[in-house]
Amino acid sequence: MSVRYQLVIDCTDPDRQARFWAAALGYELAPPPAGFATWNDYYRDLGLPEEDLIDGADRISDPLGGGPAIWFNVVTEPKAVKNRLHIDIHASGERSDPLEIRKQRVDAEARRLASLGATITVVMCQEGLDHYAVGMKDPEGNEFDIN
């Protein structure tokens, strides 16, 4: 039996991260649980102190319900080392599509995400290999790939 889960990403600016990743993944800012006007109202009901509450969004969800919920957990320390887990965004299409077309799709998505605050770090291609990807960092430096 599968289990429900959410992905948690530590960050210093949850609102910025939530908005970036919502746009990157086609997600939406997650609505508060039933019976609560805001997430902060929900957190207060859980007993979180006011100093632990943030202004802005800190959760996103798949509007179609297929992908995991993502919570952006505020931490004080900035990212310091390489991620042990990262997100791959599939933008290239099907493997049966010509490699040149897949490259164009990946590059277009990389440009779109760069316009939202991401940074392109590396283009991953190798002569003779039927694969193309672009390595990027989100606005707080977390690594992810577009393939």
Are 93 and 70 members of one domain? no
Averaged pLDDT of the chain: 93
Are 136 and 101 members of one domain? yes
Distance CA 92, CA 125 (A): 13
Domain's final residue, options 23, 53, 74: 74
Rounded average pLDDT over 60-84: 91
Q: Which range marks the domain in which residue 133 is found?
A: 87-146
Q: For position 85, what pLDDT does the model report?
A: 87
Are 68 and 107 members of one domain? no
Domain's final residue, options 74, 101, 132: 74
Are 98 and 68 members of one domain? no
Are 34 and 64 members of one domain? yes
Residue 79 lies in a domain: no
Q: Total structural domains in the chain?
A: 2
Rounded average pLDDT over 140-145: 94
pTM score, two decimals? 0.88
